[in-house]
Amino acid sequence: MDPLTHTLVGVGIANAFYREKLGPRAVPLLAIAANLPDIDVAVHLTGQASAVLLRRGFGHSLLLAPLWCAGFAFLMSRWRWTDKGFGELFVPSLAGVASHLLFDLINSFGVQLLWPVWPWRPEFAVTFIIDLTLTGFLAFPLLAAAPKVLREGLRGFSRVGLALAAGYLLFCWGNRARAMRLLDWEAKTSGLESEFSYVFPEPFGPHRWKGVLRTGSVYHLYLIHSVSGKIEPRGELETASGPEVEAARKTTLALRLERFFKAPVWSARKEADGAAEVSVRDLRFQSLVLSRGRPQDIGGGTSSGYPSVGLPFEFRFRVRPDGKAEPL
């Protein structure tokens, strides 16, 4: 999730459970701890395209989380930022970090919970990466307790806010399950024997989902309205094949990307010198709602299927005339 949502979760936990024990400084303590796993954003400083594969890795690992919490609690206790000792700060820090991992699991990017032992990247895919409704529920306690006369009720308001957020996530979960059933029904009634089917959250609410069915080299795209039960076909998108694509797929980066991507779409374009430029992107990270409604726009491409503009999580390769490929 976005840093604001993580911060509000940390603040809510602090006000609901730790303010009386740790005092007012519980709020910044939990706010920082709730963002601590994002230390792995530093991988982008390498400037390498493969850095995205390391995101939500070492900072989000359950195996390393106690280490990050211990280090943070130790620094806070030694810095004398508070009069509380290491033991009193460790558990609240762990609660903040745990909240971050949980709220990162609810979108579709995934979290490498067992890094570096196992590259497993689970995700619940029940909300878009930014969900204003969820953020609003978490901000509710601070807004409700803003008037001085209501400030004493901050603890209760915070617990209500966390309960509302939990209820909303359960609602999203139910909507996703319904969207998945609608997609399965669409495949059955259309006579599509899909090799892959999945629903991804769309922005602006839990009632719209992107449905993806794959048959052979073709992706069938749908906008699913889980509340009304309506499903809108949004066209088809074919992933390219051929010697240039196969050469790119054999590179180390492409092998890692295909393990990470849910719905990879390959495109290729010949160049005047006999070389080819090949790209791959993941339909998981393109929106039907934000696109102009055509499948090539979802993939960011032209009528030839080749991307006309750079897209989030789009990777390009150059395949030389001799068949050797390298990332761009």
- Which range, 44-48, 141-145, 169-173, 306-310, is most confident? 169-173
* Both tokens assigned to 212: 């993806």
Residue 73 lies in a domain: yes
Q: Identify the pLDDT of residue 33.
A: 97
Q: Identify the pLDDT of residue 311.
A: 55
One domain for residues 72 and 85: yes
- Decide which of 38 and 295 is more confident: 38
Whole-Å CA distances, 265 to 78, 171, 300, 327: 51, 31, 11, 16
| pLDDT at residue 177 greater than cutoff 50 | yes
* DSSP assignment string, 254-296: HHHHHHH-SSEEEEEEE-TTS-EEEEEEEGGGS-TTTS-S-HH
Going by C-alpha positions, the residue among 261, 274, 280 that lies closest to residue 322 is 274
* DSSP assignment string, 88-143: HHHHHHHHHHHHHHHHHHTSSS---TTTTT---------S-SS-HHHHHHHHHHHH
pLDDT in tens, 80-121: 767 888 999 999 999 999 999 999 999 999 999 999 999 899
Q: In this structure, are residues 310 and 276 in contact, taking their beta carbons and an 8 Å threshold?
A: no
One domain for residues 33 and 96: yes
State the average pLDDT over residues 268-296. Answer: 83
- Residue 149 pLDDT grade (very low, low, confident, very high; cuts 50, 70, 90): low
Residue 167 lies in a domain: no
- Whole-number percent of the chain with pLDDT over 90: 77
State how many domains the chain has.
Answer: 3
Is the four-CA dihedral 129, 133, 136, 141 of positive or negative sign?
A: negative
Question: Last residue of some domain: 218, 238, 258?
Answer: 238
- Residue 78 pLDDT grade (very low, low, confident, very high; cuts 50, 70, 90): confident
Count of residues in the chain: 328
Residue 142 lies in a domain: no
Question: Last residue of some domain: 216, 238, 260?
Answer: 238
Q: Is 213 exposed, middle or buried (0-12, 13-18, 19+ CB in 10 A)?
A: buried
pTM as predicted: 0.90
Average pLDDT, the chain: 90
One domain for residues 272 and 305: yes
Of 61-65, 195-199, 209-213, 281-285, give the lowest mean pLDDT range: 281-285
Distance of alpha carbon 283 from alpha carbon 1, whole angstroms:
19
Q: Identify the pLDDT of residue 297.
A: 52
- Whole-number percent of the chain with pLDDT over 70: 92
Q: What is the DSSP letter of 240?
A: P
Taking each helix axis from N to C end, the angle separating 26-33 and 3-13, rounded to the nearest 10 degrees, works out to 140
Going by C-alpha positions, the residue among 44, 46, 52 that lies closest to residue 280 is 52
Residue 104, domain extent: 3-124
Residue 267 lies in a domain: yes
pLDDT in tens, 236-254: 999 999 999 999 999 999 9
- Which range, 146-150, 220-224, 290-294, is most confident? 220-224
State the average pLDDT over residues 306-310. Answer: 38
